[in-house]
């Protein structure tokens, strides 16, 4: 045991080097960057920068959706790919230079981001000697192995269950097993950002991570994958003194610990100061799973004005019928922009609610793909229109704008969602913590309770890393 009471944290082999099994998880957009990941690696761990629309240094203004020159969405999408590639290359160079050869540098992308394969090829073809691995989740990254193998780089799928890894392995990875660097197990009930909760898992019934990681390890063993191939445990890891059973435990095989929320609060973390300060104000229960991301995945974020407004918008919702029948008796003229002048019928009870909302100023009815109307103010309606016009196709398919890389599979635009690109850019550049999505892990409330942060202390990456190594 070390002096602080945790078993000694031995280096393990990750992406071709012996490093401490401590990982800074990738965080988009522009939340884990070349500097934060490079500094983490310089301490002897694994730093992961996000290559999801990464910033081009000195040209951060180019991330704003209103900075795109073309008015045609497909051309804006092409511009986005170009900028994403340049941003990813820049951050990889910064990470490499900052790490000075220590630790390992990984790059993170989201499989369901727009034109992910083009972005991966564009970046990896230029930086394959500067980074050591690619982590990828939010979707089923079947082709990740093939792409990484082409550039001799290890790949790390992010999964939330053994079941997901089973499918990936059988369909794609078994043929390229030598490039599998490890598997990230991201706890779908605890991790910040998008979460991989499947349909048969209940968001209100969290399952403990250990049996799930054990079943992932036994599945990996059944495929002949060595115990030296690490599982990165992500989600809810705060201090290692709470994870002593996981350290050097031969039953679990090699384990690394991935941190997403704690590294938000360092001096060098690129998030704005307003966001850093907001982390100290979080209380237990303030971080919630929500279903508003236009990716269709659940996600974990702090409950703020932004989430409350989305919830209120969804609450101002009624079913409608196109024809008069026994239940839908009250005629209503939809004046909203996506169904102007259409006559529909509402249930009598709903008619009462609708008249109240209209009187309160929520006078625009927007049609959703679920045969419902949601009621918003004229300003909100105009913002929804503007955001859709500014869409750059940052996702492979977007429930908010209806954009899809494969137009034949375009989802119907749905006003209950929002433009996540705009929102994440807004929080990472302007730092508007009330009116944008503030991703956060469910243990974010611990900043306010942990004596390490007493008096609003913001540590350096070096101090945080040392604190984590100490077990606290």
Ligand X SMILES: Cc1cc2nc3c(=O)[nH]c(=O)nc-3n(C[C@H](O)[C@H](O)[C@H](O)COP(=O)(O)O)c2cc1C
Question: Residues interacting with ligand SF4, by CB under 6 A?
Answer: 294, 391-395, 398, 400-401, 403, 419-422
* Cβ at position 223, least distance to ligand SF4 in Å: 35
* Cβ at position 113, least distance to ligand X in Å: 9
* Cβ at position 429, least distance to ligand SF4 in Å: 15
DSSP 413-472: P-TTS--HHHHHHIIIII--SSSS--B--TTGGGGTT-GGGGGG----HHHHHHHHHTT-
Using the minimum distance from each CB to ligand X, give the nearer residue, 276 or 316.
276
* Cβ at position 122, least distance to ligand X in Å: 18
DSSP 404: B
Residue 189 binds: one of ligand X, ligand SF4, none (C-beta under 5 to 8 A by kind): none
DSSP 53-103: SPPPTT-GGGGSGGG---SSHHHHHHHHHHHHHHHHHHHHHHHHHHHTT-S
Angle subtended by helix axes 34-42 and 461-469, to nearest 10? 40
Using the minimum distance from each CB to ligand X, give the nearer residue, 40 or 328.
40
Using the minimum distance from each CB to ligand SF4, give the nearer residue, 296 or 431.
296
Residue 190 binds: one of ligand SF4, ligand X, none (C-beta under 5 to 8 A by kind): ligand X
* Cβ at position 84, least distance to ligand SF4 in Å: 12
Binding region for ligand X (CB under 6 A): 25-28, 31, 50, 52, 108, 110, 137, 158, 186, 190-193, 234-237, 258-261, 439-441, 443
Residue 421 binds: one of ligand SF4, ligand X, none (C-beta under 5 to 8 A by kind): ligand SF4
Using the minimum distance from each CB to ligand X, give the nearer residue, 237 or 344.
237
* Cβ at position 50, least distance to ligand X in Å: 5
DSSP 3-state of 38:
helix
Q: How many CA atoms lie within 13 A of 35 on its CB side?
A: 14
Residue 294 binds: one of ligand X, ligand SF4, none (C-beta under 5 to 8 A by kind): ligand SF4
Find the length of the chain: 472
* Cβ at position 26, least distance to ligand X in Å: 5
Cα angle 96, 136, 171; round to 5: 135
Comparing every residue's Cβ against ligand X, the nearest one is 260
Using the minimum distance from each CB to ligand SF4, give the nearer residue, 162 or 398.
398
CA atoms of 230 and 21, how far apart (whole Å): 9
- Residue 203 near residue 277 (C-beta atoms within 8 A): no
Using the minimum distance from each CB to ligand SF4, give the nearer residue, 76 or 276.
76
* Cβ at position 159, least distance to ligand X in Å: 11
Residue 192 binds: one of ligand SF4, ligand X, none (C-beta under 5 to 8 A by kind): ligand X
Distances (CA, A) of 442 to 177, 387, 408: 33, 29, 38
Using the minimum distance from each CB to ligand X, give the nearer residue, 45 or 441.
441
Distances (CA, A) of 438 to 187, 288, 435: 18, 11, 9
CA atoms of 243 and 239, how far apart (whole Å): 7
Using the minimum distance from each CB to ligand X, give the nearer residue, 258 or 317.
258
Using the minimum distance from each CB to ligand X, give the nearer residue, 33 or 330.
33
What the block records as the tokens of 456 is 């609003």
Residue 398 binds: one of ligand X, ligand SF4, none (C-beta under 5 to 8 A by kind): ligand SF4
CA atoms of 356 and 350, how far apart (whole Å): 10
* Cβ at position 416, least distance to ligand SF4 in Å: 13
Using the minimum distance from each CB to ligand X, give the nearer residue, 156 or 375.
156
- Residue 172 near residue 164 (C-beta atoms within 8 A): no
DSSP 25: P
Alpha helices in 286-396 (DSSP H): 305-315, 348-359, 378-389
* Cβ at position 462, least distance to ligand X in Å: 19
Alpha helices in 100-173 (DSSP H): 116-127, 144-150, 162-171
Residue 395 binds: one of ligand SF4, ligand X, none (C-beta under 5 to 8 A by kind): ligand SF4
Using the minimum distance from each CB to ligand SF4, give the nearer residue, 201 or 387.
387
Rg of the chain over all Cα atoms, to the nearest angstrom = 23
* Cβ at position 422, least distance to ligand X in Å: 16
Residue 393 binds: one of ligand SF4, ligand X, none (C-beta under 5 to 8 A by kind): ligand SF4
Residue 52 binds: one of ligand X, ligand SF4, none (C-beta under 5 to 8 A by kind): ligand X
Residue 63 binds: one of ligand X, ligand SF4, none (C-beta under 5 to 8 A by kind): none
Q: How far apart are the first and last CA of the chain?
A: 14
Residue 25 binds: one of ligand SF4, ligand X, none (C-beta under 5 to 8 A by kind): ligand X
């Amino acid at each position: 045991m070390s002096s602080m009471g945790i078993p000694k944290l031995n280096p393990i082999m990750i992406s071709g080097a012996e490093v401490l099994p401590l990982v800074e998880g990738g965080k988009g957009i522009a939340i884990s960057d070349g500097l934060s990941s490079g500094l983490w690696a310089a301490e002897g761990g694994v730093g992961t920068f996000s290559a999801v629309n990464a910033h081009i240094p000195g040209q951060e203004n180019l991330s704003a959706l209103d900075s795109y020159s073309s008015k045609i969405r497909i051309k804006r999408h092409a511009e986005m790919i170009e900028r994403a590639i340049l941003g990813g290359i820049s951050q990889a160079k910064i990470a490499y230079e900052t790490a000075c050869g220590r630790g390992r540098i990984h790059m993170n992308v989201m499989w369901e981001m727009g034109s992910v394969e083009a972005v991966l090829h564009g970046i990896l073809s230029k930086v394959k000697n500067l980074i050591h691995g690619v982590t990828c989740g939010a979707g089923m990254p079947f082709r990740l192995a093939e792409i990484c193998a082409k550039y001799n780089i290890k790949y790390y799928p992010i999964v939330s269950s053994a079941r997901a890894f089973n499918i990936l392995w059988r369909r794609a990875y078994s043929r390229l097993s030598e490039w599998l660097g490890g598997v990230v197990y991201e706890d779908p009930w605890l991790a910040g950002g998008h979460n991989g909760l499947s349909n048969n898992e209940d968001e209100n019934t969290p399952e403990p991570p250990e049996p799930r990681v054990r079943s992932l390890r036994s599945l990996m063993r059944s495929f002949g994958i060595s115990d030296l191939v690490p599982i990165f445990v992500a989600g809810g890891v705060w201090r290692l003194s709470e994870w002593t059973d996981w350290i050097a435990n031969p039953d679990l095989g090699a384990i690394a610990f991935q941190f997403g929320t704690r590294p938000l609060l360092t001096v060098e973390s690129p998030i704005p100061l307003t966001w850093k300060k907001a982390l100290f104000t979080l209380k237990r229960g303030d971080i919630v799973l929500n279903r508003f991301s236009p990716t269709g995945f659940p996600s974990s974020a702090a409950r703020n004005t932004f989430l409350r407004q989305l919830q209120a918008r969804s609450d101002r919702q009624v079913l409608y019928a196109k024809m008069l029948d026994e239940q839908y008796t009250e005629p209503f003229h939809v004046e909203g922009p996506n169904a102007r002048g259409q006559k529909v019928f509402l249930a009598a009870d709903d008619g009462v609610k609708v008249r109240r909302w209209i009187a309160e100023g929520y006078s625009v009815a927007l049609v959703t793909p679920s045969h419902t109307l949601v009621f918003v103010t004229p300003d909100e309606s105009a913002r929804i229109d503007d955001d859709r016009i500014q869409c750059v196709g940052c996702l492979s398919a977007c429930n908010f704008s209806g954009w899809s890389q494969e137009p034949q599979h375009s989802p119907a635009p749905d006003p209950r969602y929002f433009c996540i690109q705009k929102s994440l850019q807004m929080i990472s550049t302007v730092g508007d913590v009330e009116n944008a999505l503030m991703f956060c892990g469910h243990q974010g409330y611990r900043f306010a309770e942990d004596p390490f942060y007493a008096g609003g202390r913001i540590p350096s990456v070096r101090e945080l890393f040392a604190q984590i190594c100490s077990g606290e």
